[in-house]
Amino acid sequence: MEKNKSKYLIYFLIIGIVFWFVGFVYNLHYYINTGEFYTDILQQPLFERLLQFSPFTILFLTIVIAPLFEEVVFRLWTKLNSLALIISYFGLVFFTHSFFKTIWLTIIAIVVFGYFLFFLKKEKIRLPSLIMLTSVVFGFIHLANFNSGNFSFLGVLSLVGFGMVLSYISLRFGFKYAVLVHSFNNCLAILPMLFLSQNSILSFSGESYNAQQTVVNLFSFGEELNYQNQDSILVIAGLPQMASALSPFTPDVFYVAEISSLNKYKLIVRKKNSTIIDKEALLSDFLIKNNISVDTMLVKGVLFSALDTSFLKSVSPEKSFIMNVVSLVSTLRARNKLPIVLDEYTPNIVFNMGMPFLELENFEDIKAYLIEKYRILIVKDSNYVAKKIIYSVPSSN
């Protein structure tokens, strides 16, 4: 019996490696042709969440917390004791419900996982079924990390294969080794993004400027930087975010950067001779040089209006900093990802913004603070339409 068990476990190991290898080969092929990893391109939602944290927190979450938590849910059952089966059961049902968000599939998960974990006694059927089921769920719950697209399936297939490999390791050598391998895999995936700096330099110029763009790692600079004047520009950000930073402010246009990588870049621009930098030409050249796609759509706007400009200029909180209307609207657009339209009757007034504004995260609290302290109204208005411009790095050419 033990010999037969080892035999079919080997089958799952081989299938898992094949699935994983398919994803690896395509990833390598894509990198050779584009210089980017396709899994990096697809995982925009994951990167958007990770970039909210410091580099050290990203390392801790991806190398320690995520592998331990996921292995407890998806591979702890391999210990085959009652407590381990119960923990995996509730974890698997929870993840199935969280991903599909339908009652009937949750009920199916309750019945199916309950049957294979607690009631089926034939090991020859039970273990292969659990390996397959848990690996498939493991792959699909990571689908939320990917953009929808033709190659999302390859990312999921690769993870299903990886789940099979981890199941084999846990059953054959022990649960702790599955955690270590999972952690090592995440380490290999995340470390190049955090530490390595491609020493490539992209230089381009226009009639009014000279520009130099280099790749930096996340530990080189903590925060993104955006410094611009007529003579020079320094921006540190991802490529789509950099395009957004270089874009001009317009009352009814807001920019969205689709994050496709944890890589950051440094762009230094200096004026030529005695001219000022033509930022429109700079943005156009930057988009072309970096192969950044631009999509435009019209959406319902959110009106921003200063109801009493005299009052706005007179407000003087005890602890404050200097701000103007344009920078406030830009901040709200970036922080809350809302198509805020600046009222045409609201001038670009300089005023004193209270320090408590920086601590507000909930948009409803921000709206309440601005109307109460500054008589600034922010409200959805169907009469206003905003132009939404989306910058992204295409996943394929």
Res 353 pLDDT > 90: yes
Position with higher pLDDT, 51 vs 385? 385
- Summarize pLDDT for 247-279 with one digit per residue, the tens: 999 999 999 888 766 678 889 999 988 788 999
**H/E element, 129:** helix 123-141
What Rg do the C-alpha atoms of the chain give, in angstroms?
A: 26
Q: How far apart are CA 89 and CA 118, in angstroms?
A: 9
Position with higher pLDDT, 167 vs 97? 167
Locate the domains of the chain by residue range: 2-195, 197-290, 292-397
pLDDT the model gives residue 236:
86
Closest CA to 170 of 13, 18, 24: 13
Res 144 pLDDT > 80: no
Res 42 pLDDT > 50: no
Given a contact cutoff of 8 angstroms between Cβ atoms, the answer to whether 293 and 391 are in contact is: yes
- In sequence order, the 6+-apart residues with CB closer than 8 A to the CB of 335 are none
Q: How far apart are CA 190 and CA 192, in angstroms?
A: 6
Tokens matching residue 143: 């689908």
Q: How far apart are CA 383 and CA 391, in angstroms?
A: 26
pTM of the model: 0.62
Tokens matching residue 165: 């490999």
Res 62 pLDDT > 80: yes
- Summarize pLDDT for 172-196 with one digit per residue, the tens: 899 999 999 999 988 877 766 655 5
- For residue 246, how far is the Cα from the chain centroid? 21
Res 284 pLDDT > 90: yes
- Band (pLDDT 50/70/90 cuts) for residue 328 is very high
Highest mean pLDDT among 7-21, 209-223, 263-277, 342-356 belongs to: 342-356
pLDDT the model gives residue 219:
61
pLDDT the model gives residue 48:
56
Closest CA to 173 of 268, 99, 75, 53: 75
pLDDT the model gives residue 193:
60
Phi then psi for residue 119, to 5 deg, are -110, -35
Q: How far apart are CA 377 and CA 285, in angstroms?
A: 37
Q: How many CA atoms lie within 13 A of 30 on its CB side?
A: 19
Q: Which residue has the tokens 């959805």?
A: 380
- Band (pLDDT 50/70/90 cuts) for residue 227 is confident
- Band (pLDDT 50/70/90 cuts) for residue 6 is low
Given a contact cutoff of 8 angstroms between Cβ atoms, the answer to whether 55 and 194 are in contact is: yes
Q: How far apart are CA 218 and CA 222, in angstroms?
A: 7
Per-residue three-class SS string for 47-116: HHHHCCCCHHHHHHHHHHHHHHHHHHHHCHHHHCCHHHHHHHHHHHHHHHHHHHCCHHHHHHHHHHHHHH
pLDDT the model gives residue 229:
83
Q: How far apart are CA 178 and CA 184, in angstroms?
A: 10
pLDDT the model gives residue 53:
65
Mean pLDDT of 296-305: 92
- Band (pLDDT 50/70/90 cuts) for residue 37 is very low
* Sheet of strand 293-306, all strands in order from the earlier edge strand to the far edge: 253-257, 376-392, 293-306, 340-342
End-to-end CA distance of the chain: 52
**H/E element, 351:** strand 350-354
Per-residue buried b or exposed e for 12-49, using 16+ beta carbons within 10 Å of the residue's own CB = bbebbbebbeebeebbeebeeebebbbbbbbbbebbee
Res 199 pLDDT > 60: no
pLDDT the model gives residue 7:
67
- For residue 29, how far is the Cα from the chain centroid? 23
What one-character-per-residue DSSP string does 224-288 give? Answer: -EEEE-SSEEEEEE-HHHHHHHHSPPBTTEEEEE----S-EEEEEEEE-TTPPP-HHHHHHHHHH
Mean pLDDT of 225-234: 85
Highest mean pLDDT among 57-61, 190-194, 221-225, 335-339 belongs to: 335-339
Q: What is the mean pLDDT of the chain?
A: 82
How many other CB atoms are there within 10 angstroms of residue 318's CB atom?
A: 7
